[in-house]
Amino acid sequence: MEKKQVRDYMTHDVISIDASKTVGDVIRLIHTTDHDGFPVLRLGKVVGYISARDIIGEHPSTKVELRMTRHPITARPDVTITEVARRIFRTGIQKLPVIGPDNELLGIISNMDVIRSQIERVTPEKVFNFMRALHALYGVETHLKREHIPVKDIQPTQSSVHQDELEGRTYELQKNLAEPVIVVKSGERIILVDGHHRAVAAEKLGLSELDAYVVYLDADIELGLEKTAHAMKIFSIKDVKIDDSPERSLVRPTHPKLIPTEKKLVSEYMTTNVISLDAGKTVKDVIGLIRTTTHDGFPVLCKGRVVGLIGAKNIIGAKATDGIAPLMEPVILKTQPNEGMTDVARKMFRFCVQKLPVVDNEGQFVGIITNADVIRSQIERVTPEKVFDYMTTLKTLYGLDPLLSRGMVPVKSLIPTQSKVYMDELDGRAYEIKKGLAEPLIVVRRRGKYILIDGHHRAVAANRMRVQELDAYLIDIDSDIELGIEKTSRNMRLWSLDDVQIMDESRCAFLA
């Protein structure tokens, strides 16, 4: 079960507005708080949500209850971050009020909070790619264990971390939400490969141990990343510098040959057919686009180069004839098609931006990437947590000693254990399969059966596309014992992927 829940990332101190207030009151809140939307309360209970888009062109005396979105989509504190990510992606809503059992307002969870929870996540791809790289570069055999390591013995391989991201990792360690780090054990040395922000945060907190995926080598050799670290005079966590400057390039790995480049790039997720405005346009033009499209913000161009962003919040109180150039938010941050989605997530989180213009090498505007795109790239990601937790469950419940490997599985032979998938998410997984971006499945192989544990949207999408095989983390079990999940699947009459129901609902309930 996922540990990260809404209560761990939501904002508790929320500015709200009463349903009896006016549009003029909303305008004043927008100008004094820099927020563009607010939960609407009546007698302390959430009855709606109102945003800058809702009040464009409205008279200041209009009542809030006449313009608000009624029955807004909400979240409960115990809902997982993954479910919220799916909800935000499917609906396009940027913020969800968090409510209690009586609809009382407890907080708010935003797409930025979801991104914060995803930064510096460990994936099996990192672990397995690193193990392959070690074998290819040094000819050594490796094996993987999950265990706690002493913080004081960790040898870092990265020269600096960033203060704002360090605060997030500190919070997660305090709340027991932190991802494991990845280390190599060569002889008695513990070499940190991934998770420097977590390790530095642990040292600052005075923690004695950290949860880790430990890659054991069958030979005591000095790795290239160790030599690089020593050349930079980095021998312990205390030697890692903390960068608190507001503008800087993102941390780059000191060992790119061992940690391959992220395969999910901006080019695969950005929107290229973007509605934009020329810098010479007026507020009237913005209002027209807001009313005729589903968007509430647009890039502003001058001779093909992006110079700003203009949205509903920026034109509140302005005259229809006013030019947009003085009202727009100047563009400081941009990205390029070949930048990794994880780096984009970090930029958005650090600088609190919802959208980044995408430019080519000549600086020409070619598209836009939003935090919804970042969330889309993270939905249904496989984590080692899922794989190892399930293996631990098998050991605990059945006394089995499963073996883990990576390989291709026949799609037609997969036995599902989930009865429903959703069409909108299915479209995303189909796109990723076509582009070679899909995460591996998690499959149990027992007596020739392939039992699908995680990745039903990917598997159903592949089945519909007539894809023959999918990449998977294979958990092999040498046992005649029928697993509980097999019985559940049989009771639901799920014999193949064709038996999984496809739900075509934009506001559907989310998978548990």
Residue reference for tokens 């479209």: 427
Q: What residues does each domain of the chain span?
A: 6-110, 124-243, 266-376, 384-503
**pLDDT < 70 stretches in the chain:** 1-3, 119-125, 245-263, 379-385, 505-512
Supply the pLDDT for residue 512: 30
Encode burial over 229-257: b for 16+ CB neighbours within 10 A, e otherwise: beebebeebeebeebeeeeeeebebbbee
Candidates 3.10.310.70, 3.30.70.260, 3.40.50.720, 3.90.1530.10; CATH matching 384-503: 3.90.1530.10
Supply the pLDDT for residue 379: 65
Report the predicted TM-score, pTM, of the whole model to 2 decimal places. Answer: 0.62
Instruction: Using DSSP, state whether 507 is helix, strand or coil.
Output: coil
Supply the pLDDT for residue 503: 84
DSSP, res 152: G
Looking at domain 6-110, which CATH architecture does it have? Roll (3.10)
Supply the pLDDT for residue 172: 82
Supply the pLDDT for residue 124: 64
Question: How many Å apart are CA 386 and CA 455, to the nearest integer?
Answer: 11
Candidates 1.10.490.10, 3.10.580.10, 3.40.109.10, 3.30.450.20; CATH matching 266-376: 3.10.580.10
Supply the pLDDT for residue 69: 93
CB neighbourhood size of 399 (10 A): 9
Encode burial over 365-393: b for 16+ CB neighbours within 10 A, e otherwise: bbbbbbbbbbbbbbbbbbbbbbbbebbee
Candidates 1.10.1200.10, 3.90.1530.10, 3.20.19.10, 1.20.120.610; CATH matching 124-243: 3.90.1530.10
pLDDT, tens digit, 9 for 90 and up, residues 248-305:
444 444 444 444 445 678 998 899 999 999 999 999 999 999 999 888 899 999 999 9
Asked, colleague to colleague, whether 6-110 and 266-376 share their fold, the answer is: yes
Question: How many Å apart are CA 4 and CA 115, to the nearest integer?
Answer: 12
Supply the pLDDT for residue 369: 94
